[in-house]
Amino acid sequence: MWLWAAASGGTEVFRWLPGRGGEQAKDLLGETFSGIIHRDRWKPHEQLPHARNQLCHASIRRHLQAILEGQGKPPLKAPCSGWDNEAELALRKAVLWRRGCIGVNSEEGARFVERILSLAGTARRRGLDLLAWLTRALQTDLDGLPAPALT
């Protein structure tokens, strides 16, 4: 399973998906996604025909440096720098959090991780205290009221 992340404005969304291909990109973003994908030339993103693509600045730098040094090709795998990729920053935090845990051993555990990371990332982006929001949500649920909006 691969942990995918999408980030924009005040929202972060995480999904555990069984691969890194075009079908997973469509599953996360939808087949008609027409926003901007910040990418490092990963081919599956090209299967979203309505999306606009922004190449990762760190990847471009690596390619240019390899050409200047006469290597011809850059290293196969190196992460994009955080300053130019919102999803990379979100994913890096999630991966570090996951490494500190035992892991995900069930479908239910995977869904919990997706949801809690999505809530925590979205709350952080909106400047909210996630614990206070969750406390309000639990209390209103116990009182039979709709959960408060994440605003």
130-142 and 107-125 are packed helices; what angle lies between their axes, rounded to 10 degrees?
120
pLDDT at 81: 46
Q: Average pLDDT of the chain?
A: 79
Which residues share a beta bridge with 52?
36
Domain positions in the chain are 2-104
DSSP per position, 65-112 = HHHHTT-SS--S--PPPGGG-HHHHHHHHHHHHHHTS----SHHHHHH
pLDDT at 83: 45
Mean pLDDT of the region 58-66: 80
CA gyration radius, the chain: 18
d(CA 6, CA 115): 13
